[in-house]
Every structure is written in structure tokens, then in C-alpha cells.
A and B are shown apart, each in its own frame.
Chain A
Amino acid sequence: MYNFEFEKPGSVADAVAALGADDAQALGGGQTLIPTLKQRLAMPTKLVSLKGIAEMQGVCTGDDGAICIGGATSHATVAAEAGAYPALAATAAHIGDPAVRNRGTIGGSLANNDPSACYPAAALGSGATIVTNTREIAADDYFQGMFTTALDEGEIITEVRFPVPEKANYQKFVQPASRFALVGVYVAKYADGVRVAITGASNDGVFRWTEAEAALSSNFSPDAVDGLSLSGDDMISDLHGTGDYRAHLCGVMTKRAVAAAA
């Protein structure tokens, strides 16, 4: 780890100001950033912790019924307090291990947009709104490829709003070593249609499986996915599975998510 300055502001405004410094870096729970620093793979001049900002903490329900989660809220808190959206709470409850869940934050996960992370699937699958210090971004516009998002430099995710579906479920097939999602499928059924978001599989990061969404919107049952398939060509192919295997798992996990949706 190289030396850096550390600040822990108490307000979003102060955090934005602190991030104005050259090569300053926002720090959520540090579950990706700290290991990266320890490997000397990043050299920020300043880390700005977002954990001291009270207005970015916690889970509440908005006037429109959406679940609103502060950007610096830990996975463990979401697991414990987002009971109004059970599938989301269950997703949070199975990210990483207890240490990760107690440190990692939803804002940190979405800002990092790891192609195998769980929260991007939940956010995209729920049509969530990513609220930052400057604007609101629809999930469909937010995820722009592996480790790439619509966030501008210094922009902070202050809140994430999840409309609560009629039914939803997340099925994660874990990579045996990291236990990140080898393929994770988030299915959510809303009054106006079904959303299916898949993490872990694609070279382009989290994506919506629109064919499955169309089929499930007219028939929300596992059988509706029969006969649909994704191509393995653009999927991640590595030590833990080929693109074709991941493409196959997308179908399997989608059916299981539909069957388990509650």
C-alpha cells in the first residue's frame, strides 16, 4: 500500500469537496479498493470515506412505496432492514461472507460494477434509480459494461431506490473459489412486465435478457424460458467455465428464479 491522505467527511457536500483533490478516491466499504491498494495496484492521493455521512445510511420506504437505501449502507443492514422487499434483502444476505457484508456498501458495489457482483443484477433487475449528489440515473442507463458506469469523476451515489415488485428472486450459481456469481439471475415481476438481469456471465457486465423478459411477461412460469437460449460467444470464458457453460446456466438460473419468486 502506498501512502495516502484520509478524510471522513460528515456530509455529502464535504465529501464532494474532498473528492475535488487530484487523484482522490471515494471509499465505501473498501471490499475491493483496500485489497487493490494492498497489492499496490492503485495509488490515490487521498481516500474519502463515505461511511461518516449520516444521510447516506439506512433503509426507508419512499412516498411511492420504493425501498430507498442510503449509498453507504452495508449489505448486512440491507439484509436486516429491507424486509419490505424480501428478494432484495435475501440477495444482500448472500453477498460475500459476514465480514464483507458488514463492511461492504451498496454504493460501493454499484460504483465498482464488478461483472460478477450481485447488486448490479438486483438494481438492473428491479429497474432501480441510482441517486447521486447531482442527479438521478435509471439503472438501464447506469450500467455501461464491465467496471464501467454512468458516474462522472467525483460523483457519489447517495441513495438507491428500488421499486418493489409483485414477486422477485435472485439465483446465484457461485464460482467455487471466489464465490462471486459465476452466473447470477435476478428476476422481478412488476405490474407492467418482468425484468431479468444477469450478472457474472457477460463480457459486457450485467445485462437484461430481453427475450426471457418478453416470454415471462406473458407467462410467468419456468416453462416460459424453455427453448430460449443465449449465445456463449460474448460470455466470459475462464478457468471456471466456458462461455457456453455460462450461457447454459443463464437459462437454468432464470428458471429457478422464476420458480422461487415470491
Chain B
Amino acid sequence: MPKDGGIGASSKRREDVRFLTGAGNYTDDINMHGQAYVHFLRSDIAHGTITNIDTSAAASMPGVVRIFTGSDFEGVGGMPCGWQVTDKHGQPMQEPAHPILAQGKVRHVGEPIAAVVADSLAEARDAAEAIVVDINELPAVVDMKAALQDGATKVHDDLDNNLCYDWGFVEENKDAVNKAFEDAAHVTSLELVNNRLVANPMEPRVAVGDYARGTDESTLYTTSQNPHVIRLLMGAFVLGIPEHKLRVVAPDVGGGFGTKIFHYQEEAFCTFAAKACNRPVKWTSSRTEAFISDAHGRDHVTKIELALDADNNFTAIRTETHANMGAYLSTFAPSVPTWLHGTLMAGNYKTPLIYVNVKAVFTNTVPVDAYRGAGRPEATFQLERVVDKAARELGVDPIALRRQNFITEFPYATPVAVEYDTGDYHGTMDKLEEMGDFAGFAARRAESEKNGKLRGLGVNCYIEACGIAPSNLVGQLGARAGLYESATVRVNATGGLVVMTGSHSHGQGHETSFAQVVAEMIGIDENMVEIVHGDTANTPMGMGTYGSRSIAVGGSAMVRATEKIINKAKKIASHLLEASEADIELKDGAFSVAGTDKSVAWGDVTLAAYVPHNYPLEDIEPGLEETAFYDPSNFTYPSGAYACEVEVDPDTGKVTIERFAAADDFGNIINPMIVTGQVHGGLAQGIGQALLENCAYDENGQLLSASYMDYAMPRADDLPMFDVDHSSQTPCTHNPLGVKGCGEAGAIGSPPAVVNAVVDALQSAGKDVTHIDMPLSPDRVWAAMNG
């Protein structure tokens, strides 16, 4: 019987009413009195030296307030990087300066060179066209391996070369891993590309800077997943504004997918310019600008090798990855191919020895950073592809090979530094086999072949590390931030609650699911709980939403704060009921004395807290408001098994997905409907990566896929009806809700299933195709078949 509220209920998303009726309040909806508009003049050259910028003609054009160039920011900090990776020799990564506006050189198409602030956007654009910029074009560094050759053109003249870092993990295991490969009965190796992607949230980025001269306070309204992080980074490291004089508001945000985590130049610019011009300054990204200024995702080139013994047990994994950083280090870029990638290389398998090498490379392209999954899709893709390839080489069933090597005992310490607390990989695979009707596949394949199509079945597993993260651990790993979360629970006199969370919702449905948790704990209707997020002025310091962390970390902070509320309310209730506090029970929104019929309603207790006429003032303070910070003791480890069935048209190479089944273990679930929606969205993006999306540069550093005319987003008719199950639940052992997080799973788990399925289809027709690089667009599949 489904619940009609609280934890486990598929409560309808309350925020959708405003989103779907045009009543949302997005950053672009915010317009300030006297606001000016900024247009950024961006480089259309990938790499070059700026020899001259002449703004004189532009400055006198109608409506122009002020024109800024790099020289206006010489005394201002550059864009900070929030994670320092240490290389395999113990040296810190090479970290170039990242200016707000280009200083002396341009290093990627889209880099802002000048900014025109004007009374209207049209006037700003007109004036920007009158700015004369002379650039001596230099050879563009695009290919990562070429970028590391001796004598390669340097993206940053003041660095030794284009290598950000050369990371080995675990370096001490390297020799043992190499030995295991020498001793292996079978080695499977695979070279592959994890294609560069553009996140493409529905809402482009927007920033509005405001400055109050009377109080010397700056406010930034921005499309961010983490307003407190932006306030800290921008205030402390870029503009030198103390946090008590700086407010950052991220109101309704129309999708982030990672690319709205980072602190961007446009945010710092609008905040700076609002003070410099003494006027609010607004920037709204066009879709074209988004393609060349939002941080991109993925872009790894990898060689992975899997060693097996004579009984097909995995004995070692060895990988070498080139990871594209782009021209500058985006906020969390260095962490993605290292600590979010290497630590996941064990996957679901008890491989005893693993060595991961990652070379992060600077190129003349847009910076690359976290995108839904961030490192974990890259790890999952290569691992699940090489396992599938090994099964084919050995002539064994790919599911049986996986099952044979599954981790079955928990907690399990991997050789790549993390300890899985719980999981049941056979359980999700059992579920998948049931959902996928594998027994019926042969008949479905025969039917496809009758219609001239090839049919393939691909299966894979995934594990991810979510709920980032223990602050002391990530501090050791190079994070320049803590990764706790916070919540303040304010109970009003009449019993309603406002929960102010450091998490940020930009599509996840927190306003609904977070309210369900608090309502369940107190036993009240969830409509009595309001969730407030997104404004540093009225939420406690929190690290924001990404990495599937919000229910696991933010939800835990909320539970802790609510527990404090309940504890205090019990004290009040014991006073009102003239009973011992130890005897007070809270159930269904009422406090009662155990073993009696004496009780007092939630609302009477909350009223007493604010109208303390009959109140234990000598023992406790009036009021009912508590804050908690929660720092997790471990990551959470969602896992699952996915199956994809494709048809391939051998005449055209066109792939269609006929069936897709996802069996996930997210631990406990707050709102099953929202979880299903999160999985659907993740699957759409993962399938998008596998079949459609391709962010491509030419050799001159020009973006070839710079609009929707060439960048293929997944559309509804590209996708099948998904079969999604999350009934396999091994609760997380170390957070109070037993939850693991579900936001990224679909994007992590689906690409290898798709590619495995297409390879299966082609091999069924006798094609000697062992791998095709994503996206598996028709031309690539046809070329592979006719290679």
C-alpha cells in the first residue's frame, strides 16, 4: 500500500506548479532598478597574443556606460581552482593564472577579451562590434597527445609544458600490478575515447551584480548549484569582499548537471562592475555563448588493460588516461579525472591490484570540469567495456564473468582507497535478468533479423561514490574546501516549519522530498514544512548540490537539526504534561506520556515555545530553532546493473534502442517517483552521450559543434520507454537516513550498456568489431561495419 505522505511516498513535486505555470523566479527574471547590461566580446581565435585593444570608438557610442578590458583587473585575483592534485612524484600540479578578462593572450574560442556595459543589451553589442582587437594568431593546441610532445606549442608560456599533472594511483602498487600482468593467463586491452560533452541545461547561465553604496554591500544573483561556494570563492579569492558584505542568491535554477557548480568570470565581472559603475549589471548567456563558455565535460582518451587468471578471475587492472583540462583549470577540474575517477576503478569487482595513471593536459579549448557523474562515468565506461571485451575473447557469458568477480562481502576495502559500506551486486543483477527477459532475447533477435535488422544485448554494472564527502579525507586529497552540509530548522509558533538548507535544488525536487523527511520525523503533514534554499543571506553555510550528495549529506544535516528540535520540543512537552522527559513519546504530531492517555499536540508545544507563559524558562530558552552541520564519515556507494537492447540498421548504421532496463540500489528511498525521474533523466543523458552528443574541435581550435544544428541532444523519440527498478535496497550504514543518492546513476551506468549492445549486434552478423567510440552515430557504426 503506497504511503500518502512522508518517507517512501511518491508525493507530487510541489515546485512543479510554479515551474509549469510560468511562476518560477529564475535569475533572468530578476531586473533591478537602473540596471545596465554587459556584453562580452569573446575571442573567435583559439590561441593568440593580443597586441592591441582599441576601445576608443566604442566608448563614445550611444548608451555605453563603461568598457572593461584585462587591464582593469590587474589588481584583482584570477579565477581560483578549488582542488590541488599532487602528481606521482609528489609535486603539485601546474596551475596557471585564470584571468577574468584575457590578459595578453587568448587561449580558447569564447574567452572574454572585453566587456561593454551599456544601458541596453543592443547598445552593448553595437559597441562591442566597434572594439578593435589585434591578435597575433599562434598554433592551436588541440590534440592532447600532441600537446605533450617535446617542443609542442605551450598554452601557458609561464608553465613548463602543457602537462597539468601526471598522476599515479596507487603509485606504490605499480610494480605489483605490472607483475600481475606478466603472470596473467589472459590480458584484454582496449583503447577508447570518452567523448567531450556540453552540459546544455535548459536555462543558460545568468548573472546580475548589484551594489548598495549606502551599506557597501554587494549582491550577486546567479544560476548556481552552490551559492555559498560562489560567495566564498569570489569574495575571498577574486574580489576581496568579506563574506558579511557579500550575498549570493541562486533562485530557481533551470538545470545544472555540474556545469553550474563552478565559479565563472561573468559572475565576478558583474559583481565587480556593479560597484565600479554604481549600477546593477546583468549578463544573460546566449545559447551560442553557453557552448563556448560553460565548462564542458568528459574528454578522456584511455587505454585500459584487464588481467585474468586461468579461472577467469580478475587479477589486475592498469589504465592510462589523458584527460583534457582545456585552457584553464575550472573550479574542480583537477579532481574529476583523479579522485572521482581513479577511486572507482574497482567497480563491482574484487580485483586485488589496480594502477591508474592520468595525465591532465592543457589545450586551447573551453575548460573541462564535472558533468553529471564526473569521473565515475569515465571509470565505469572503460571498466565495463573491457570486461565485456574480455568475456567475448574468452568465450564466456558476460554476465557470468561479472558475477564470478563480484564483491560479495561488505564492508569491502578496494585497492583504490575507498571502502564500500554495503551493496548486493548479485541482487541487482538478479533483478535485471528478470526485468530484461534475457530468455526471450533470442526470439527478439530472430524477429529483428527477419526485418533486416541486427539486434544486440548489452549488460553492465556500475558502482559510484556519492554523498561527497568526508572533509578530512578530501582535504588530504587536495580539496581546498570542506564538503559537509548544513540545515537550520525554524519552527514557527503555530507549528509550521521552515528548513533552510545549504543544498540547492535545480530540478531535483528537494522542496518536496526534503519536506517529506522532516514531516515523517515529526508526524505532521508535509505541507507544514517549507524548504528554503539558494540565498546565502538566509541559509547556513553549505556546499551545495552536486555529486548525488544532497539527500545523503544535506538530508542528514536536516535530520540532525530536526532531531535537536524534537529533543527540545520533548523538554517543553514534558513541562506541559508534568511528566519526565524520558517518558515523552512523539507520534503522529503529538507528544504523549508513555503508558498514559496524556498528550499535547505539536502545535501546542510550538506555541508554548514562542508564548512561554507556562514554560521551563529556567532550563531552556524560548523559541524552537536549531542548526546542524553534517560531515559524512564515508562516501555512499549506489550500484546497479543495466541492460540495453538495440537494433542496428545494417544499411545505414542507425542504432535504435528497443529496450532499456535499469536495476539500481540507492539504499533507502524518500520519494520513489522523484527517484524514477532522476534515473530517467540520467539515462537520457547517458544515452545521449552514447549515441548522439559530440563536442568536437577542429585542428585550429574552432568548435565544430557550436549549436544545436551540429550538437545532437537526445530527444524523446531517441529513447525507449525505460524499465526502472530500485527495489534492491542495501541501506547506507553511516548516514541517518540510510540513503545513497540517485542523481547521477543513469548517466554513469548507461553508456557502456549501449556500446556493449551495439558491439553484440554487429558481432552477431559476423562483423569483427570490438569497439566503436562514442557517440555511436550512424556514420561511425556504418564505417565500423564496413571498415
Q: Give residues in A with beta carbon < 8 Å to B.
A: 1, 39-40, 173, 176-178, 180, 182, 238-242, 245, 248-249, 252
Contact = CB atoms under 8 A, between A and B. Distances in A.
A180 B709 CA distance: 9
Interface of B: 122, 125, 129, 288, 651-654, 691-692, 694, 696, 704-705, 708-713, 777-779, 782-783
Nearest to B653: A245
B778 A176 contact: yes
B701 to A, nearest CB: 15
The 3 A-B pairs with the shortest beta carbon distances in the complex, nearest first, are: A177-B712, A241-B779, A176-B712
Contact of A176 (B129, B651, B777): B777
A182 B777 CA distance: 12
Contacts, number: 46
Given A177-B710, A239-B704, A240-B777, A252 B696 contact: no
A178 B710 contact: yes
Nearest to A183: B652
Given A39-B288, A177-B710, A177-B711, A252 B777 contact: no
A238 B696 CA distance: 11
12 contacts: A1-B122, A173-B652, A176-B691, A176-B692, A176-B712, A177-B712, A240-B777, A241-B779, A242-B779, A242-B783, A249-B652, A252-B652
Given A240-B777, A252-B652, A177 B782 contact: no
Contacts of B696: 239
Contacts of B778: 173, 176, 182, 241
Given A176-B777, A240-B779, 8 more contacts: A176-B691, A177-B692, A177-B705, A178-B710, A239-B705, A240-B777, A242-B779, A249-B652
Given A176-B777, A177-B705, A249-B652, A240 B710 contact: yes
Contacts of B779: 240-242, 245
Contacts of B653: 245
Contacts of A239: 694, 696, 704-705, 710
A239 B707 CA distance: 13
Contact of B709 (A173, A177, A252): A177
B653, B711, B712, B783 — most chain A CB neighbours (10 Å): B712
A176 B713 CA distance: 8
Contacts of A248: 782
Contacts of B691: 176
Nearest to A256: B651
B125 A40 contact: yes
A245 B785 CA distance: 12
Given A39-B288, A239-B704, A252-B652, A245 B782 contact: yes
Nearest to A173: B652
Contacts of A173: 652, 654, 778
Contacts of A182: 778
Nearest to B715: A179
Most B CB contacts (10 A, CB to CB) among A176, A180, A240 go to A176
A1 B286 CA distance: 13
A202 B670 CA distance: 55
A25 B628 CA distance: 64
Q: Which of A177, A178, A248 has the most CB of B within 10 A?
A: A177
Contacts of A39: 288
A173 B652 CA distance: 9
Contacts of A241: 778-779
Contacts of B654: 173
B634 to A, nearest CB: 41
Contacts of A178: 708-710
A177 B718 CA distance: 11
Contacts of B710: 177-178, 239-240
A234 B330 CA distance: 42
Contacts of A1: 122
Given A177-B705, A239-B705, A245 B783 contact: yes
A177 B125 CA distance: 29
Contacts of B125: 40
B733 to A, nearest CB: 44
A248 B650 CA distance: 12
A252 B777 CA distance: 17
A7 to B, nearest CB: 22
A57 to B, nearest CB: 29
Nearest to B125: A40
B779 to A, nearest CB: 4
A67 to B, nearest CB: 30
A146 to B, nearest CB: 15
A177 B651 contact: no
Contacts of B652: 173, 249, 252
Contacts of B708: 177-178
Contacts of A180: 709
Contacts of A40: 125, 129
A84 B696 CA distance: 45
Contacts of B651: 252
Nearest to B783: A245
A241 B778 CA distance: 8
Contacts of A242: 779, 783
- B129, B651, B696, B708: residue with the most chain A Cβ atoms closer than 10 Å: B651
Nearest to A255: B651
Contacts of B782: 245, 248
Nearest to B705: A239
B438 to A, nearest CB: 29
